[in-house]
Amino acid sequence: MFIRLNILVQTFVICLCLPTDRLQAKNKLILILADGVRYDYVADPNLKGFNQLAKHGVRAEYVQPIFPANSYPNWYTIVTAIFFRCSVHKQTHKHF
């Protein structure tokens, strides 16, 4: 019994480790949301991390905040394209 269970578990682990074409074909996106960062921090030559991200990635020219004082509603709107206050009513606002 133990040998069969061991073989079953090893087979399952090997199947999980095998890449699939469907997973490899998808593009990956990493969204970095930095709280408390001003618009001009990216242009500061002393912040080399921001410069590397801007050089090798994509960045937004500007973002119009939904709630300027609160971060979470802005992040929610960016990720879901749903205006935070109207999410209860299922109204989507994909343009501002």
pLDDT tens string 74-89 = 777 777 777 666 544 4
At 92, is the pLDDT very low, low, confident or very high (cuts 50, 70, 90)?
Answer: low
Do 32 and 53 meet the contact criterion of CB atoms below 8 Å apart?
yes
Quote the CA–CA distance of 14 and 38 in Å, as a whole number. Answer: 47
Q: How many helices and strands, by DSSP H and E, does the chain display?
A: 4, 0
User: What per-residue confidence (pLDDT) applies to 55?
Assistant: 81
Specify whether 71 is catalytic: yes
End-to-end CA distance of the chain: 63
Give the pair of three-digit tokens for residue 50. Answer: 């921001």
Angle CA(64)–CA(70)–CA(74) in degrees, nearest 5? Answer: 40
| Residue predicted with more confidence, 49 or 5 | 49
pLDDT tens string 40-64 = 877 788 888 878 877 887 777 777 7
> Which one is catalytic: 50, 71, 82, 83?
71
